[in-house]
Structure 1
Amino acid sequence: MIKSTVCYLVHDEKWLMLFRNKKQHDLNHGKWIGVGGKLKTNETPYECMVREVIEETGYQVQSALYCGIIHFHYEHHEDEEIYVYQTSDYVGTLHECSEGTLAYIPKKDILDLELWEGDRIFLEKMFRNEVPFSIRLYYDENEIIIKSEVKEANTNE
């Protein structure tokens, strides 16, 4: 099982999004996603999120809200757990990202972007401040969600 994090950085009702357009063989190519990546050995999800934000944006997270966990179950890929965070508490200067184009997008426009179907589910919960959550998404061989389970989570990460 792959374990990853994603963080949404917010400033003035705009969310920092990453358009994955720089790597050809990228599962996320052509999609808008949050900033994040895979956990390293002995790294907590929070530590991973802080490290990934620095690597991909140049920003240093001072504190972040744990929003929940998403369990992705795939027909033809390894299953994945993603720990989701949100922050407005960060410092530094935005730099170019090797994985794609970073852009601050008004919250009201995010759901109009080219997003993964599953991302829409948890982003809507975040927009309504319905956190923390626990979501299970089951995908078929065509990357279409065939089943979803959405619950309130009672624990913090």
Structure 2
Amino acid sequence: MNNKKTVLVYIEQDHKYLLIHKQKPDMSFNKYMGVGGKIEAGESPKEAALREAFEETGLTLLDLTFNAKIFFHSQDYIEEMYLYTATSFIGTLQSSSEGTLIWVPKDVIKNLPMWEGDIHFLEKLHEKNLFEMHLYYEGEKLVRVSSGPLV
């Protein structure tokens, strides 16, 4: 079983999220998502989120809010992802080799090519309570979603 721990950050400004249009040839190629990646050895999820946001955007986040733990399940793969939001930052926006950065109005995000499960947790980001969500995939097809308060 392949177990992976990752972070994902949605940077928000003017009712828009900063998304990356993935160009790296991996399982998320040509999909839109927040910025993030793997948690490195000895790194806390918060440290990983700050590092990944800087590496992928050139921005230093001044606030970082933990929102949820998301678990992705597929046949031989489980990913535990720490989901954050940020609204304050300094620096100059710079794309990376991961993909192109674009500010997208929140109300049109679900029209973009993205992982189906991402829409489920994006809809809960405005809630004040921490939550946990399990997304079950067969290939790229989302087959089951369960969520509740983070315990």
Residue 153 of structure 1 is matched in structure 2 by 150
Partner secondary structure for residue 62 of structure 2: strand
Letter paired with 1:111: K
| Deviating more after overlay: 128-137 vs 47-56 | 128-137
Query: Shift of the alpha carbon at 1:143?
Result: 2.4
Query: Shift of the alpha carbon at 1:53?
Result: 0.5
Unpaired stretches in structure 2, ≥5 consecutive residues: none
**Equivalent residues in 2 for 1:75-86, closer than 5 Å:** 75-76=75-76, 78-86=77-85
Task: Confirm or deny: 8 A CA contact 2:17 2:103 kept in the other structure.
Answer: yes
**Equivalent residues in 2 for 1:1-157, closer than 5 Å:** 1-21=3-23, 23-24=24-25, 26-76=26-76, 78-126=77-125, 128-140=126-138, 142-154=139-151
Letter paired with 2:56: E
Q: Return structure 1 stretches of 4+ with deviation > 4 angstroms.
A: none
Query: Shift of the alpha carbon at 1:73?
Result: 0.9
Whole-angstrom CA distance in 2 between matches of 1:135 and 1:6: 14
Whole-angstrom CA distance in 2 between matches of 1:130 and 1:75: 32
Whole-angstrom CA distance in 1 between matches of 2:15 and 2:143: 32
Percent identity between the aligned chains?
A: 36
The structure with more strand, counted as a fraction of residues: 2
Whole-angstrom CA distance in 1 between matches of 2:129 and 2:114: 20
| Deviating more after overlay: 142-151 vs 57-66 | 142-151
Cα deviation digits, residues 55-95 of structure 1 (max 9, x gap)? 0000001121111010111114x210110000101111101
Whole-angstrom CA distance in 2 between matches of 1:6 and 1:30: 17
Letter paired with 1:125: K
Query: Shift of the alpha carbon at 1:10?
Result: 0.7
Unpaired stretches in structure 1, ≥5 consecutive residues: none
Letter paired with 1:107: K
RMSD: 1.2
Whole-angstrom CA distance in 2 between matches of 1:28 and 1:131: 28
Partner secondary structure for residue 104 of structure 1: strand
Whole-angstrom CA distance in 2 between matches of 1:37 and 1:146: 24
